[in-house]
Structure 1
Amino acid sequence: MSRTCFQRSEQSRQPAFHQSECAMSRFPRLSLAPGAVFRALCLMLFLSLIPGAVSAQVRSLHFAAEEGFVLSPERGFWISEYEDFLRSDNWTYEWMARQRNENGYSVAFALIRLDDWRDAPLPEWELNWIEGALGNARRAGIKLILRFSYNYGDGQPDAPLWRVLQHIRQLGPVLRRNRDTLAVIQAGFIGQWGEGHGSTNGLDSPASKAAIRDALLEHFPLEVPLQWRRPPDLMAWGAEGRGRFGFHNDCFLSAPDDTGTYTGWAGQQLAQRLFAQDLTESTPFTVQTCRGSAPRLGCWAILEEGALYHLNTLDAAYHPDFHARWRAEGCRDAVERRLGYRLRMAFARIDQAAHEVTVWVANDGWSRIFSPRPLLATQYRGGTPLETITLGPAALLGRETPAGGQRLGDVAPGETLPFQGRFRRWILRNDVVCLSSPDPRQPDLGAYAVRFANAAVPGQSWWSDARAALCFNAVP
């Protein structure tokens, strides 16, 4: 190149010009139209007039964990009046609202008694009554563990199979319209208390159980998890109902077989327990303790088995001997914190120039969240919302996009996953970003939104009740 330049310099007799030209010839030539140059200069001038617009292009921040109680839907201790959800004077909107707002419960167990309809279809007014009761739960901000039964134990009768199937068909539309109020639906209907045993009409035979299973899968809302009482039935069904059915244990920690929850000889019971531990990784597990032949009362048992079985919700009152022991040994508060999911923001990365937000979500609870929850980010400027985006897998970490997009339920216990999204606008100084996860079925109801387990950091991040979101200063 030096020889070529020397020759051109000799020919042109303009050595100074060609010295510059030769130097520049080592780089690619840029051809900019006058209008493009003007626009670029204007953009640079505009950005220079905005405080913080081009300073600190990438910012990282760490969030503080909340160590105490966090009220969030579909998890924790559950409460109940243990009476008919429709006919008890105690099951009122006021009672449910007080339990949530004053006593800190987000879940209630609701038993609907169908005793009067063992020999008749459900009348329209009964279906309307159920719909009204579910609406009261919504107004109170309570989610329900719902079960239907034809008796309250003591050897009372249930209903013939054909009548049960008729009732399930009738109930389907009501439950689908009110699916936002339901944390889980327990299979119910069969036998004593709807617990799947002691049927007076043969409903606990394998054929009848399978027929009821199929009716529940067909008519009850797809988005709401279902629960069966005993793992051996679920194991026998194989793929039937897999992904929809979890199980509930109404005698948790009561005996080696948890009072009939697990059946057969010791090796069979061990296989059933291992199946249950695997099943509850992906389906909700709700329990009630009872004092059986050899109760495991101590803190060691609930802390060990709560983690093994991914315990999601637990009766707050029964059996009182368990709760008294947990209080005496000092672990009841720890149990409350671990029940279900406990999602918190660990840290975030803000890329101003790329308009990009990446947040890492940790789960310190015993289980996942099972309702289909996206993670949303809203950009505010001067208190005005500019845009809301759904955060997905963080491509910068090379993660593959899960089918259907990434949701909070993908964050398993003990795991931390990144979520990432890009706004259309620059992220400027004093912009606020708020992270939220409303219930997609009731997006405007703050009581049904996930409350992240984060403490406020002065000048950085805080929980906003009005927005049901964890907010932070993106670029202080």
Structure 2
Amino acid sequence: MKRYLPLLGLLLAVGCSSDDKSSDQDQDEDEPTTITYTASQDDFPNPERGFYHYSDTRASNYSPLDADELATYRSLQTADGASYSVVSTLVFRYFILDMYTAAPLEESFLAKVQADFAAARDAGVKLIPRFTYTVTATPGDCPESFICPPYGDAAKATVLGHIGQLKPLLQDNADVIACVQLGFFGTWGENYYSDYFGDASGNDQGKLLDQNWTDRIEVLQAMLDATPRHIMVQVRYPQFKQRHTYGINALTNVAALTETEAFSETDKARIGYHNDCFLASADDFGTYEDYGNSSSPRTGANTVLRQYFADDSKYVVVGGETCSDGYSPQNDCAPAGKAEKEMSDLHYSYLNMDYNNEVNNDWVTGGCMDNIKKRLGYRFALTTGTYPTTLTEDDKIDIKLTIENSGFTSPFKARPAQLIFRNTTSGEIIVRTLATDVRRWFPGTNTIEESLEGGLKAGTWALYLNLPDAAATINKRPEYSIRLANNGTWDGATGYNSLNHTLAVK
């Protein structure tokens, strides 16, 4: 274990500075030390955030995920048509159930889905799964012309049966699921062009009726019930969450999540959003629309639903993709556009790196892509840390950390925050879990001040901050631990963040 000592000395030299005056003869050696850390400007992979890689497979012609390929996504990769490269820990996975629109899922298919989850686990990435029946827009002689009915999705009874069959897979593989998208009904699983759940397009009724809402809410509830309570389920439209929460007559100005309700694992706290036409138009192609019901018309609700989305999204997962460059320059970088502001206001954790690169490439030429790559989701950097220098075995361990989150949002999944003590002679590891909740390390400055149990043996102990995954199956794997955006702190072998301080216990 002596091999850590030279590294620690180097990190102290380049990664931080200390306000410790213990070398001063007049300084009490028991005084705490405050260390100032240097923020990194590097882009690097971190779990459950950033640009994702797109992947799809059809039940009729299954193309399995390959663990070796998935592992390469953690290093710089460039998508077709992209003028930028990204590092990624997320893989969007379309499961297209084209063989099963009127039949139960076969065990052979379920086994293939299980193998995909296993490949993600082997590779050190997480999946964003969406199950759907069709991703094909069939043009024809109908009002919308580019897509005409029948669309090709499945009836409610079939959908509910499939969700029941998928439940064991969702439960057993929760460790490598970042979040789940509702999917199932509507072309692309986007809950719009549907043969069975109401067609709000100009091809049919132009709004949703009471029975349509009732059927949609039943499917969403089935997905919430099939998915572990610590996993969030994303819906395509904010009004869908409102009507699930408050009923099919709910107005668009209902209350968003409050900080007290947040992360409580209630259904309201678990429903997030995937906006698959981010910055595509003034209302993101109907994302912020009141789709009516049997007694009310469809109407625009852009302002009120945007505000609801902004307030609610602080506490739930938000992601999606761009889909059209027709809203340029508004979807460009500042000053002409509002791309970064929109991501910040609406708390985006992830976006698609593969689509639509007419939009995404503009962020390169506009000069904001590097910021977007680093700011999607969370980005934590230690500013200062205050720690004891000398203790007796029975003393409490008082620490104070100041952490700046320069990301667009905070983590949407719970994970422990651990102070790690490593004996510099024996290598013994002692773990003390902090009471803080990393999901509440919101953008801006966060101060964590705690008094921890003592009981360390006499000796010298190096301090680390560990932010591992909550799942026992992967919480020892550094790929699933959060890396701080500081110079000279990351230990890639363990997933620990060095605090560049040693504590002497007498």
Q: Does 1:474 align with 2:457?
A: no
Counterpart in the other structure of 2:464: 434
**Secondary structure at 2:281 match in 1:** coil
* Other-structure match for 2:476: 444
- Distance of 2:37 and 2:173 partners within structure 1: 36
Provide the rounded CA distance (Å) in 1 between the counterparts of 2:38 and 2:173: 36
**C-alpha offsets along residues 265-288 of structure 1, whole Å, 9 cap, x if unaligned?**
886211011011011100011020
Question: Aligned AA for 1:150?
Answer: Y
Q: Which has the higher helix share?
A: 1
Structure 2 residue aligned with 1:64? 38
- Aligned residue for 2:208? none
Pairs aligned (count): 405
Distance 1:57 1:428 in 2: 18
Measured after TM superposition, the shift of residue 55 of structure 1 is 2.3
Query: Does 1:145 find its partner at 2:125?
Result: no
Q: Does 1:79 align with 2:53?
A: yes
Deviations 1:318-361, CA, capped at 9 Å, x for gaps: 11111221111111001111100112222211123334133233
1:228 aligns with 2:270: no
Deviations 1:30-87 (A, max 9, x none): xxxxxxxxxxxxxxxxxxxxxxxx8243111122111121310000111113444995
Contact in 1 for aligned 2:349/2:378 (Cα 8 Å): yes
Contact 1:191 1:203 in 2 (8 A): no
5+ long unaligned stretches in structure 2: 1-27, 78-86, 139-150, 200-211, 248-266, 291-297
Q: 1:454 and 1:239 mapped to 2: Cα distance?
A: 44
3-state SS of paired residue (1:432): strand
Deviation at 1:131, TM superposition (A): 1.0
The aligned amino acid for 1:125 is S
Instruction: Say which is worse superposed, 280-289 or 313-322, in terms of deviation.
Output: 313-322
Residue 225 of structure 2 corresponds to 218
8 A contact 1:251–1:292 mirrored in 2: no
Q: Which residue in 1 is equivalent to 2:432?
A: 389
Identify the residue that residue 271 of structure 1 maps to in structure 2.
304
Contact preservation (8 Å) 1:144, 1:184: yes
**2:15 maps to which residue?**
none
CA contact (8 A) 1:160 1:203 kept: no
* Alignment partner, residue 155 of structure 2: 160
Structure 1 residues 422 and 86, CA gap change in structure 2 (3 angstroms): farther
Instruction: Report 1:324-473 matches (<5 A).
Output: 324-351=361-388, 352-353=390-391, 354-356=395-397, 357-381=399-423, 382=425, 384-392=427-435, 406-425=436-455, 430-441=460-471, 442-456=474-488, 462-471=489-498, 472-473=500-501
Does 2:107 match 1:124?
yes
Does 1:107 pair with 2:149?
no
Distance in 2, Cα, partners of 1:330 & 1:86? 43
Per the normalisation by structure 2, the TM-score is 0.76
- TM-score, normalisation: structure 1: 0.80
**CA positional deviation for 1:228:** 0.4
Query: Is the 8 Å Cα contact of residues 346 and 360 (structure 1) preserved in structure 2?
Result: yes
Does the C-alpha gap of structure 1 residues 412 and 115 become closer, same or farther in structure 2, counting only changes over 3 Å? same
Q: Judge conservation of contact 1:76–1:313 (CA < 8 Å) in 2.
A: yes
User: Which structure is larger by alpha-carbon Rg, 1 or 2?
Assistant: 1
Distance 1:371 1:316 in 2: 22
Contact 2:47/2:90, CA 8 A, preserved across alignment: yes
1:386 offset after TM fit, Å? Answer: 3.6
For 1:65, the aligned partner's letter is: A
- The answer to whether the 8 Å contact 1:428/1:475 transfers is no
Unaligned runs of 5+ in 1: 1-53, 393-405, 457-461
Residue type of the alignment partner of 2:173: N
Cα distance, 1:137–1:386 mapped onto 2, change above 3 Å: closer
Q: Deviations over 1:279-333 (max 9, x none)?
A: 1100011020011653433112211101110111011121111122111111100
Equivalent position of 2:116 in the other structure: 133
Identical positions, percent: 26
Indicate the SS of the match to 2:268: coil
1:183 to partner: Cα distance: 0.8
Name the SS of the counterpart of 1:294 in structure 2. Answer: coil
- Whole-angstrom distance in 2 between the partners of 1:374 and 1:139: 22
